[in-house]
Structures are given as C-alpha cells and as structure tokens.
C-alpha cells in the first residue's frame, strides 16, 4: 500500500501490485474492497469522507457475511485523501448524489494514467466524472453483484456477478487495462463498447424494481406475486425502454418486461438498495433513476408519466 506516513493495516505490497482505491465504504464499496484485497493480487484501499467510520474500518477491516462463511479482510481506510499516492485505478461506489463531491475530494489520487471507473447506480455519473477528470480516463460500467450494509465495514454478501465496463469515448486500451487489473483479482469482466446501452439496461431494471419495492416495503420477488405490482413494473420497464429509444440509445431487440422479471426471480429474496435506503432513513437515488428518465424524456419530446410519478412518491417519503 503506497501511503504517506501512515501505519498500514495490510502487509507491504509487492512491487508489481497495482494500486486500487475504492471511493465509498457502502455495501458495494466494502464488498469489492474485500473481494479484491482477498485475492492478494492487487492492493486495495478505501477512501471515506467520515473520519470516525474510516478509523473503525481501518481498525477492524471489512467483515463479510457470505452464504458459507463469515470472514474479515484487512483493508486500509482513511478519510484523508492526502494519505494516498496516485492510484492505478479509482473505483467510484458512492451514491449518485455524492459523485461530484467524491471526485473533487479524490483529485489528489488521480494521475495522468489513472483509470477512473464508476460502477454506481443511476444515469449521469460518468458525465459528472468527465467534468473533473480527462474524458479519456473515465470508464463506466455495471455489476449485478449485491450486498447489504449491516454496519460500518460490515456487509452481508448477496451474490457476486460479472462486471461489464467500457469507455464512453472509445478508449478501448484503458478498458482492457482496467479489465486486466480486475481479472487478476479473480473478477469476471466483460468489455462492451456501447457503455451507454449497458448503463441504460441497468437503469431500466432499477427504475422498474427499486421504487416499487421502496414504496411497498416488499422484496424483489414479491413484485411478481401481486398482479397489480407485476403489471405496473412491466409498464415502467416499457416506458424506460421507450425513453431510451427516443434518446438514441440502442438497447437491442429484447423484451424489457422479461428482463425485469428475470432479475426479480434471480434476486427474489433481496431487498433493493432503494428499499434499504428507505428503511435506514437515508436519501435514495431516485432522482438519478426514474427522475433522470423523466427529465431526459422531456428533452426528446416524449413522456414518462410513470417514472415522474414514482420519483415524486419516493421523494415524498424521503423528505
């Protein structure tokens, strides 16, 4: 771990190890900090904004409750960007509404060769990063992995899935370099040149499932069991697909309804991230999901009344 004047929790890294810094010690940030550091092929640390929480994670490591075992992975964590030297890879896992503040704080970690990858939920994250980092250094992607935050640095793992990433400006060389870093840490990575389509497919799923679970307090699979909710979910999926098409996003020839229902079945017992936020009294990302779709719809002379309505309802709970 390349640190300035700080005691390390992890062992000194070998010269060939790549330096990966994850911004945001939420459920997904902690999950990937543990997964990547456990491989011992890359050196991973966490950048937080909350000094007390950072100190706790620094002392205890990241605790992961998986299906077959509970384990702890030592992970260096600090709330001071000055504690780190330039990273090879910066992964942004904050909530969408914190993206700008997060990248502003992380500027000292970004060098001319640093890849900056967002694996966040929502639309508009990579565009925010591009305002603060050269566009050719920004990558965007998705992952279907899941986790629930139980406490600072303590998560329950719901599943680990492949990462799909790409360069919004066509920097395939960087995309392959970052894929190699993640693959060296035992992650399955797929590169997709049409990253906007990747992000919209994920947003479609989240827009159709998350607000309904948040409003009804139901797990993903339960949306399929109640006829009215299943039909509403289908209508939202079709609406998002239509807005994407109007915006020139090619989602391909597939059924958005079947895609959403498949995810519900595969994650039947999961609480969506939005439901977790509502139950914990945290701000949701609704403005970057259904709210963003409704806003984009207006830019292309189309309508998204269901997304607009769901955004208003979730915002009403959040107030």
Query: In the structure, what pLDDT confidence band is assigned to residue 207 with cuts at 50, 70 and 90?
Result: very high
Query: In the structure, what pLDDT confidence band is assigned to residue 316 with cuts at 50, 70 and 90?
Result: very high
Q: Does the structure show a pLDDT above 80 at 208?
A: yes
Task: Look at residue 253 in the predicted model and tell me its pLDDT.
Answer: 85
pLDDT in tens, 69-108: 999 999 999 999 999 989 999 999 999 999 999 999 999 9
Count the Cβ atoms, other than its own, within 10 Å of residue 235. 14
Between 270 and 13, the more confident residue is 270
* Annotation says 202 is catalytic: yes
Q: What is the mean pLDDT of residues 135-149?
A: 94
Q: Does the structure show a pLDDT above 90 at 8?
A: no
Across 14-18, 35-39, 44-48, least confident range: 14-18
Which of 133, 109, 119 lies closest to 21, judged by CA?
A: 109
Task: Look at residue 1 in the predicted model and tell me its pLDDT.
Answer: 42
Helix (H) or strand (E) holding 22: strand 18-23
> How big is the chain by its Cα radius of gyration, in Å?
19
Task: Look at residue 16 in the predicted model and tell me its pLDDT.
Answer: 65
Query: In the structure, what pLDDT confidence band is assigned to residue 254 with cuts at 50, 70 and 90?
Result: confident
- Look at residue 130 and give its three-state secondary structure: helix
For residue 77, the cross-strand partners are 46
What share of the chain has pLDDT > 90, as a percent? Answer: 87
CA separation for the pair 139, 317 (Å, rounded): 33
pLDDT in tens, 53-74: 999 999 999 999 998 899 999 9
Task: Look at residue 209 in the predicted model and tell me its pLDDT.
Answer: 98
Across 20-29, 35-44, 103-112, least confident range: 35-44
Task: Look at residue 131 in the predicted model and tell me its pLDDT.
Answer: 97
Decide: residue 143, CB within 10 A, 0-12 exposed, 13-18 middle, 19+ buried. Answer: buried
Query: In the structure, what pLDDT confidence band is assigned to residue 2 with cuts at 50, 70 and 90?
Result: very low
Q: Given the residues 6, 95, 190, 202, select the one marked as catalytic.
A: 202
pLDDT in tens, 216-233: 999 999 999 999 999 999
Contacts of 127 (CB under 8 A, 6+ apart): none
Q: Is the dihedral of CA 262, 267, 271, 274 positive or negative?
A: negative
Q: Does the structure show a pLDDT above 50 at 15?
A: no
CA separation for the pair 128, 103 (Å, rounded): 9
CA separation for the pair 316, 319 (Å, rounded): 5
Spatial strand order in the sheet of 76-78: 76-78, 42-47, 18-23, 89-92, 115-118, 138-143, 163-166, 189-191
- Look at residue 54 and give its three-state secondary structure: helix
Contacts of 7 (CB under 8 A, 6+ apart): none
Domains of the chain, each with CATH number or no CATH? 18-193 (3.40.50.720), 196-318 (1.10.1040.10)
Query: In the structure, what pLDDT confidence band is assigned to residue 5 with cuts at 50, 70 and 90?
Result: very low
């Amino acid at each position: 771990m390349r640190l300035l004047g700080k005691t390390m929790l992890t062992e000194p890294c070998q010269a060939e190890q790549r330096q990966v810094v994850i911004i945001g010690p939420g459920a997904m940030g902690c999950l990937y900090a543990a997964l990547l550091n456990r491989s011992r092929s890359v050196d991973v640390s966490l950048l937080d904004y909350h000094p007390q929480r950072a100190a706790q994670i620094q002392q205890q490591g990241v605790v992961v409750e998986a299906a077959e075992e509970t384990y702890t992975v030592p992970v260096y964590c600090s709330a001071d960007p000055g504690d780190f030297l330039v990273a090879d890879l910066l992964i942004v896992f904050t909530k969408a509404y914190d993206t700008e503040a997060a990248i502003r704080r992380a500027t000292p970690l970004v060098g001319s060769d640093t890849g900056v990858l967002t694996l966040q939920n929502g639309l508009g994250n990579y565009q925010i990063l591009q305002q603060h980092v050269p566009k050719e250094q920004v990558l965007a992607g998705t992952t279907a992995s899941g986790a629930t935050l139980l406490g600072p640095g303590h998560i329950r793992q719901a599943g680990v899935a492949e990462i799909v990433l790409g360069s919004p400006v066509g920097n395939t060389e960087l995309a392959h370099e970052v894929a190699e870093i993640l693959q060296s840490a035992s992650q399955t990575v797929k590169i997709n040149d049409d990253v906007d389509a990747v992000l919209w497919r994920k947003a479609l799923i989240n827009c159709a499932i998350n607000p309904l679970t948040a409003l009804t307090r139901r797990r993903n699979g339960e949306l399929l069991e109640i006829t009215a909710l299943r039909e509403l979910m289908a209508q939202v999926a079709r609406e998002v697909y239509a807005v994407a098409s109007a915006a020139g996003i090619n989602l391909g020839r597939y059924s958005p309804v079947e895609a959403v229902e498949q995810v519900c079945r595969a994650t039947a017992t999961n609480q969506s991230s939005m439901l977790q936020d509502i139950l914990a009294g945290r701000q949701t990302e609704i403005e970057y999901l259904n709210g963003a779709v409704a806003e984009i719809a207006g830019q292309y002379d189309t309508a998204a009344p269901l997304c607009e309505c769901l955004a208003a309802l979730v915002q009403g709970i959040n107030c």
